[in-house]
């Protein structure tokens, strides 16, 4: 591990938007290699607290190493950010001043061949962010009923060729289980028409994204953590989320907007029946994206979008 573990995306922008101050308590729900966390700790000097959560044991090892100079102000937990309420309560923390979620996978996860997140090397089909979980991409690909698998690939990968892909996967898995990332990628490539095979983007990109989202239940976790996180924020506390594809970004945008609006009753209702009150002001009316210089030095930043909201 070490310095190449992960380069934090939109480091300055994401931390600026959190309005860090001395003594503040910030929750980093995706602490990863500790890049954003380190900057947060500097900006909450001398007595701010950082609670870091990550599903991945490797990430916790790395962030523990990186954040050592601040160890008295850091609490790291292996867990799911969807459980942030319970995790904070176990630390006796009732409210926080800021929350950061930097979604998706780290460079370390993508580049560790044995983790099976990438089609660029051959590895067992795994894709679990939490190495303790009992359900991997192998189980998903080999045991999910065809219709369900098709829906996963269509909805989470926004892949309109899902039917063809699943039909090829299904034929293959009847003969023998699909075991590796390369086997899977080759089946997907064979199911594609010729022009797609020649494109710059690998034809299996969308299928791999879909399977990763499903294996880790990423969208449901995001939903839960947004709604719970908003309630954990103190007045004027900030919630920042960096997302990497349109499905995540849409969820962040819609949840933030719905709590900015408060009442969700149909406009023809004479009085409010939902009793939802405004909880947020959205700070970033449009998502913040990385500048050209950042994209040139870190191509993985290309699809990043940052949204921030403030608790009222
Ligand atoms: C893009 S990386 C974060 C990098 C980090 N901000 C840094 O500066 O190094 C995303 C991290 O989120 C973690 N992760 C993804 N989903 C999670 C979840 N539901 N709960 C906790 N951690 C999660 C992944 O394991 C990964 O380490």
Q: What is the pLDDT of residues 17-28, one digit of tens each?
A: 999 999 999 999
The CB of 35 under 6 Å from ligand 1? The reply is: yes
Q: Determine the atom of ligand 1 nearest the C-alpha atom of 129.
A: 25
For range 151-167, the mean pLDDT: 97
Residue 4 pLDDT: 86
For range 106-112, the mean pLDDT: 93
Residue 107 pLDDT: 94
DSSP-based three-state secondary structure for 46: coil
- Å from CA of 31 to ligand 1 middle: 6
Nearest residue to 38 via CA among 14, 55, 244:
14
Nearest residue to 51 via CA among 98, 110, 14, 3:
98
Cβ atoms 150, 211 nearer than 8 A = no
Residue 18 pLDDT: 98
pTM above 0.85, yes or no: yes
Neighbours of 246 (CB within 10 A): 12
Beta bridge partners of 86: none
- Å from CA of 193 to ligand 1 middle: 35
For range 151-158, the mean pLDDT: 97
Alpha-carbon torsion 98, 103, 105, 108, what sign? negative
Q: Kindly report, residue by residue over 26-67, the tens digit of the pLDDT.
A: 999 999 999 999 999 999 999 999 999 999 999 999 999 999
Q: Determine the atom of ligand 1 nearest the C-alpha atom of 222.
A: 19
CA dist., res. 222 & res. 307, Å (int)? 14
Between the two ends of the chain, the Cα-to-Cα distance in Å is: 41
Residue 3 pLDDT: 53
Residue 196 pLDDT: 67
Beta bridge partners of 99: 27, 239
The CB of 54 under 6 Å from ligand 1? The reply is: yes
Residue 193 pLDDT: 83
Residue whose CA is at the smallest distance from ligand 1 atom 24: 105
pLDDT confidence bin for 120, thresholds 50/70/90: confident
How high is the mean pLDDT of the chain? 95
Q: Is the peptide bond before 66 cis (omega within 30 degrees of 0)?
A: no
For range 118-145, the mean pLDDT: 95
Q: Kindly report, residue by residue over 180-234, the tens digit of the pLDDT.
A: 999 999 999 999 887 666 677 889 999 999 999 999 999 999 999 999 999 999 9
The CB of 14 under 6 Å from ligand 1? The reply is: no
Residue 194 pLDDT: 73
- Å from CA of 265 to ligand 1 middle: 35
Residue 1 pLDDT: 55
Cβ atoms 48, 73 nearer than 8 A = yes
């Amino acid at each position: 591990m070490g310095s190449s573990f992960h380069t934090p995306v939109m480091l300055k922008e994401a931390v600026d938007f959190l309005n860090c101050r001395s003594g503040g308590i910030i929750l980093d729900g995706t602490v990863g290699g500790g890049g954003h966390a380190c900057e947060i700790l500097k900006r909450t000097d001398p007595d701010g607290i950082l609670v870091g959560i990550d599903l991945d044991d490797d990430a916790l090892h790395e962030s523990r190493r990186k954040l050592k100079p601040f160890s008295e102000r850091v609490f790291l937990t292996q867990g799911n950010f969807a459980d942030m309420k319970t995790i904070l309560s176990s630390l006796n923390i009732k409210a926080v001043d800021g929350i950061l979620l930097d979604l998706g996978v780290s460079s370390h996860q993508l580049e560790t061949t044995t983790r099976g997140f990438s089609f660029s090397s051959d590895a067992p089909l795994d894709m679990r962010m939490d190495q303790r979980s009992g359900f991997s991409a192998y189980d998903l690909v080999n045991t999910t009923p065809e219709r369900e698998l098709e829906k996963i690939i269509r909805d989470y990968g926004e892949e309109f060729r899902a039917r063809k892909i699943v039909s090829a996967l299904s034929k293959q898995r009847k003969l023998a289980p699909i075991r590796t990332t390369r086997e899977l990628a080759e089946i997907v490539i064979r199911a594609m028409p010729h022009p797609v095979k020649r494109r710059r983007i690998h034809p299996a990109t969308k299928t791999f994204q879909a399977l990763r989202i499903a294996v880790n239940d990423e969208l449901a976790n995001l939903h839960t953590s947004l709604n719970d996180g908003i309630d954990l924020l103190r007045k004027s506390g900030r919630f920042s989320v960096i997302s990497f594809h349109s499905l995540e970004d849409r969820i962040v945008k819609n949840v933030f907007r719905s709590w900015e609006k408060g009442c969700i009753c149909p406009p023809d209702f004479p009085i409010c029946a939902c009793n939802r009150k405004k909880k947020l002001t959205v700070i970033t009316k449009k998502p913040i994206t990385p500048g050209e210089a950042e994209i040139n030095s870190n191509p993985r930043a290309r699809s990043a979008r940052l949204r921030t909201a403030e608790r009222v």
